[in-house]
């Protein structure tokens, strides 16, 4: 068995470490802050097995300019950052084609379709099982016309086996009265799930990893270690970590280290925001995507999390006020009578690639180095399966799916 160093303690890194550990390997995780310190904490908590329609639909060329100029749009751009990200935007927008959407949907359906089962398999015996629930993922539209305007995406989902039920707002209100008179149409996607507290869930998995003999090092990775046969570990500000294999799973922070590993990753931070209503007077039953605002309302352990919005503004700037203000306006419209103890704000960084596909697999022919990153909006959903794939590859097993679209070397 081998010794493996995993850089990154989010859901992808922790999942990879646990599956490697179960395969009999010795595993060390290194992370600058520790488990679930970033997007693995602040995501919407939805196991979105039907999230197979990319942002780059063919009408994006027409819609994007108006969206970034509209203060009520869920797409934000820090104009001072625009010159730096123009090369990424050009590559990103070139994927706004029918052909790319069709291929993306088929590829991502293979990765995401069994997300709930993958989470249950990962969490079995760890103490993290209590955070996983089976629930419909709902999409609320103000009118039937607005639902029909999204027909392109629903056809793509249907063609790829996503099962959903369309209800009137009145029908849905019999299931969840909190949304009475809020929507004209609600689509209920089946075979989805929810994590009731994403941060606590990943931390519970990390505790199990350590209890089973895994090592967690809190340090910043600064460089890589190579020998004649490949990359063998990482240099950190706390010393060297050497092994037989190394895995890069640092999410939006992977680009500089990826370059040292020989990868050119055109990775961009897609800044996501959430607001939490702590100890609310009423709790929704299932996660709800508010289609008009492109944000998700998710019931959590003792709070309601409202997460979404896209802002391109880099990884170093402080949070912007406008995305928080937009979320607050939408929350006031959806829940005008809701009371709560306080409102908490958070901003994090989603790792986005030009083709919206993650990087999963070997970084070179030596098979000593692997990438598991770039999951954009579906890191939580795809984390356990991604970790299992990497563990299989390192253990010499062939995963039962085509990994070529996820190749880490595709941007060379």
Nearest Cα residue to 271 out of 338, 317, 219: 317
Average pLDDT per block of 10 residues along the chain, 412 residues long: 96 98 98 94 96 91 69 76 87 94 98 98 98 97 97 98 98 96 97 97 98 98 86 92 95 93 90 96 96 94 93 88 93 95 96 96 91 96 98 95 95 83
Residue 301 to residues 49, 287, 375: CA-CA distances in angstroms? 22, 13, 25
For residue 38, which of 252, 185, 204 has the smallest C-alpha distance? 252
Kindly report the backbone phi and psi dihedral angles of residue 47, in degrees, each rounded to the nearest multiple of 5, phi listed first. -90, 85
What pLDDT, on the 0 to 100 scale, is given for residue 279? 98
pLDDT of residue 80: 84
At residue 89, φ and ψ (nearest 5 deg) are: -60, -40
pLDDT at position 135 is 93
CATH class given for the domain over 1-50+114-121+196-266+354-412: alpha beta
Report the C-alpha gap between 298 and 301 in whole angstroms: 10
**Alpha-carbon distance 107 to 104, whole Å?**
5
What contacts 281, CB < 8 A, 6 or more positions away?
338, 339, 340
Domains in the chain: boundaries: 1-50+114-121+196-266+354-412
Nearest in space to 176 (alpha carbons), one of 164, 188, 165: 188
Per-residue pLDDT, 221 = 96
Q: Position of tokens 């070179």?
A: 364
């Amino acid at each position: 068995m081998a010794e493996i160093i995993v850089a990154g303690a989010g859901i992808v890194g922790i999942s990879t470490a646990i599956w490697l550990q179960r395969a009999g390997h010795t595993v060390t995780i290194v992370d600058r802050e520790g488990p679930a310190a970033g997007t693995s904490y602040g995501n919407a908590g939805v196991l979105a097995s039907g999230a197979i329609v990319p942002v780059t639909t063919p009408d994006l060329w027409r819609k994007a300019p108006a969206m970034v100029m509209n203060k009520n749009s869920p797409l934000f751009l820090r104009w001072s950052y625009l010159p730096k990200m123009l090369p990424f935007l050009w590559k990103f927008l070139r994927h706004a084609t029918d052909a790319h959407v069709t291929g993306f949907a088929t590829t991502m359906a293979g990765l995401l379709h069994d997300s709930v089962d993958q989470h249950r398999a990962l969490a079995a015996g760890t103490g993290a099982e209590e955070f996983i629930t089976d629930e419909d993922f709902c999409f609320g539209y103000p009118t039937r016309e607005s639902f029909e305007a999204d027909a392109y995406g629903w056809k793509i989902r249907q063609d790829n086996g996503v099962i959903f039920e369309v209800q009137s707002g009145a029908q849905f209100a019999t299931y969840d009265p909190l949304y009475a008179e809020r929507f004209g149409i609600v689509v209920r996607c089946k075979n989805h799930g929810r994590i009731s507290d994403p941060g606590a869930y990943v931390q519970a998995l990390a505790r199990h990893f350590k209890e089973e003999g895994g090592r967690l090092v809190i340090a910043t990775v600064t460089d890589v270690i190579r020998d004649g046969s490949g990359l063998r570990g990482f240099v950190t500000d706390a010393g060297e970590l050497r092994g037989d294999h190394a895995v890069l799973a640092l999410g939006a922070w992977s680009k500089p280290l990826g370059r040292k590993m020989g990868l050119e990753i055109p990775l961009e931070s897609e800044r996501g925001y959430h607001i939490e209503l702590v100890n609310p007077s009423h709790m929704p039953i299932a996660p709800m995507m508010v289609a008009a605002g492109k944000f998700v309302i998710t019931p959590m352990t003792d709070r309601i999390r409202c997460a979404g919005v896209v802002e391109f503004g880099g990884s170093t700037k402080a949070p912007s006020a406008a995305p928080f203000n937009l979320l607050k306006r939408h929350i006031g419209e959806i829940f005008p009578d809701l009371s709560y103890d306080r409102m908490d704000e958070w901003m994090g960084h989603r790792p986005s690639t030009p083709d919206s596909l993650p990087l999963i697999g070997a970084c070179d022919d030596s098979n000593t180095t692997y990438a598991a990153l770039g999951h954009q909006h579906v890191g939580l959903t795809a984390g356990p399966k991604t970790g299992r794939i990497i563990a299989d590859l390192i253990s010499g097993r062939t995963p039962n799916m085509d990994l070529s679209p996820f190749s880490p070397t595709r941007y060379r």
